[in-house]
Amino acid sequence: MRQLADNVTSISRHVERLQLLRTMERLADYLLDTVNDDQTSMALTLPCDKGLIATCLEMERKIFLELWLSCTALVSSQKGATLRSQTL
């Protein structure tokens, strides 16, 4: 029974990682499309606080912030642009 519980937990964690990867890919695609190739810096205005965005996406705030940082680093490496976020 213990082995079965461990297997279910392992599968659950794997599915969660796959879901986060897709979320990260979608966020990265959005950010890459947002920045023009000739921009070196850009302020991206968010409609509300990142914590509220995370809640709307049914994500923990900490996970959203980690994804946000990873994606903005990706944009920086791909486009050479620095993203700064601000809220309305």
pLDDT tens digit sequence for 17-71: 666 667 777 777 777 777 666 766 666 777 788 888 888 877 888 888 888 888 8
Say yes or no to pLDDT of 82 above 80.
no
- Boundaries of domain holding 15: 2-87
The pTM assigned to this predicted structure is 0.55
Q: Give the list of residues 6+ apart from residue 20 with CB closer than 8 angstroms, or none.
A: 63, 67
Task: Please tell me the total count of domains within the chain.
Answer: 1
How far is residue 75's CA from residue 88's CA, in Å, rounded to a whole number? Answer: 22
In this structure, what are the phi and psi dihedrals at residue 86, rounded to the nearest 5 degrees? -145, 160
